[in-house]
């Protein structure tokens, strides 16, 4: 079974669908789109171009071998828009049953 990574991508409000289409198109099995709100120090917000405190947050489990392509597709799709994206080894944040379920492509309802 191939290892999974979790892609976490954050951008300004309204950019989530664009990010989701890019990640799913690059082979991520699913994309969970969440709304967030928060602030950071003003200097960081200005540096990132995030003056609105509303955010779109995406969580996308992806096979380790596809993460490089997924991040590249995200970069192309976002163009000049500012965003933040990282990958985290999924095994460090998910229980074994959840990990197995996502790695095999199943769902909780059979």
CA dist 70 and 6 (Å) reads 11
pLDDT of residue 66: 92
The residue ranking higher by pLDDT, 47 or 80, is 80
Q: Is the pLDDT of residue 92 over 80?
A: no
- Look at the chain and count its residues: 110
Structure tokens at 109: 């309802």
- % the chain with pLDDT above 90: 31
Over its C-alpha atoms, the chain yields an Rg (Å, rounded) of 15
> Starting at the edge strand that comes first in sequence, how are the strands of the sheet with 32-37 ordered?
32-37, 54-63, 4-12, 83-89
* Phi-psi region at 73: left, alpha or beta (left = phi > 0; alpha = psi -120 to 50): alpha
The residue ranking higher by pLDDT, 52 or 29, is 29
pLDDT of residue 110: 46
Angle (deg, nearest 10), helices 67-78 and 16-25: 140
User: Comparing 12-26, 36-50, 57-71, which segment has the lowest mean pLDDT?
Assistant: 36-50
Mean pLDDT of the chain: 80
pLDDT of residue 40: 57
Going by C-alpha positions, the residue among 24, 9, 17, 15 that lies closest to residue 57 is: 9
The pLDDT confidence band at residue 39, using thresholds 50, 70 and 90, is low
Whole-model pTM: value is: 0.71
């Amino acid at each position: 079974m191939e290892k999974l990574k979790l892609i976490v991508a954050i951008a300004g409000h309204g950019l989530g669908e664009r990010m989701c289409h890019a990640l799913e198109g690059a082979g991520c099995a699913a994309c969970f789109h969440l709304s967030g709100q928060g602030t950071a120090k003003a200097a960081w917000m200005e540096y990132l171009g995030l003056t609105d405190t509303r955010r779109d947050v995406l969580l996308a489990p992806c096979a380790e071998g596809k993460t490089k392509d997924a991040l590249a597709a995200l970069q192309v799709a976002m163009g000049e828009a500012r965003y933040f994206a990282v990958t985290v080894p999924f095994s460090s944040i998910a229980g074994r049953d959840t990990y197995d379920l996502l790695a095999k492509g199943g769902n909780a309802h059979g």
